[in-house]
Amino acid sequence: MEDKLTGLVLKNLPIGDTKNLITVLTAERGKKLIACHGARKLTGRNMPATQPFCLCEFIVSEKNNRLTLKESYLIESFFELRCELLDCCVGSYILETGAECAREEEDERELLSLMLNSLHALCSKDHDRVKIKSAFELRLLAIEGSGPVCDVCVCCGKPLGKEFWFSPAEGGTVCGLCRNSGVARAPLYPLDEGARMAMAYILHCPPKRIFSFKLGRRSTQYLETASREALVYTFDKIFESLKFYEQQKDILPEE
């Protein structure tokens, strides 16, 4: 049986001398593994479309629940990501976290749309990469049902007041009273009103508008920390691509 799938290549695993096993997030069937024979040959017609970051149309044959690639048509390669190391690092982080969240035979159109919008934003240079990364992290958590509370104190349910913090363990913002009384679980990270409003906007705005907000330097730093720690706490690990990005960011200057 043949099928046509449109998807984003998340991983490319070499097998043997010429075969690849690619992980693809598809609009039609969620995350799928596709065997690609001859894809590692430089002359192979499917080689360009089986690389990470490539959005493609795949013609596959299916037997015993296993997919084998017959033809592929490249739609978008996001080539610009390969020209800037830090952009490539954030792009790889988007692919790795997406691969972690995606499920087989599930409707993952919202996740795929978020990933594609984020990759397009990185390539366009219209938005700061730190803002793109933070918005992606928070919206990903929202899609997974773990979006943080940021309109009231997550511990007592009361208004936040003038000073408030973010608790990944509690899943949202914490007021000064709950922080000072020890009710809220540590660690707690400072937030300001700009970062809090940006979080609320990212979590609830139309999907294609998640990068349409402006923040000052301090608010951006608060947002970056809160979104990172929220994702790390939710998944209970630091992704390898995130580690590499942060190592490189300490060496290379942000634009």
- 136: pLDDT strictly greater than 60: yes
Q: Do 242 and 163 sit in the same domain of this protein?
A: yes
Cα–Cα nearest to 25, from 75, 78, 94, 98? 98
175 and 239 within one domain: yes
Q: What is the CA radius of gyration of the chain?
A: 20
Last residue of some domain: 50, 76, 102?
76
The reply to whether 168 falls in a domain is yes
Does residue 116 lie in a domain region? no
Residues 174, 113: Cα–Cα separation, whole Å: 31
Lowest mean pLDDT among 29-38, 93-102, 146-155, 200-209: 29-38
Q: Identify the three-state secondary structure at position 232.
A: helix
Instruction: Report yes or no on 118 lying in a domain.
Output: no
Q: Could you tell me the pTM of the whole model?
A: 0.93
Query: Residues near 243 by Cβ (< 8 Å), separated by ≥ 6?
Result: none
Q: Write the CATH number for 59.
A: 2.40.50.140
CB 50 within 8 A of CB 7: no
Helices (DSSP H) in 102-251: which residue ranges? 109-124, 129-143, 176-181, 193-204, 217-235, 240-251
Residue that finishes a domain, picked among 76, 94, 120: 76
pLDDT in tens, 11-39: 998 887 777 899 999 988 999 999 988 66
* Rounded distance between C-alpha atoms, residue 121 and residue 112, angstroms: 14
Cα 72 from chain centroid (whole Å) = 25
- Per-residue model confidence as pLDDT tens digits over 34-57: 998 866 665 567 777 888 999 999
**Is residue 138 located within the same domain as residue 218?**
yes
Instruction: Kindly state the percentage of the chain with pLDDT values over 70.
Output: 96
Domain for residue 140, yes or no?
yes
Looking at the fold, whether 138 and 241 belong to one and the same domain comes out as yes
134 and 235 housed in the same domain: yes
Structural domain containing residue 184: 129-152+158-251
Q: How many domains does one find in the chain?
A: 2
C-alpha–C-alpha distance, residues 16 and 39, integer Å: 11
Q: Is 212 among the domain residues?
A: yes
**Does residue 233 carry a pLDDT above 90?**
yes
Is 142:210 a contact under the CB 8 Å cutoff?
no
Domain boundary at 11, 44, 76, which?
76
- Taking a C-beta distance cutoff of 8 angstroms, is the pair 73, 57 a contact? yes
The tokens 């599930």 sit on which residue? 106
Q: Shortest CA distance to 165 belongs to which of 202, 195, 134, 190?
A: 190
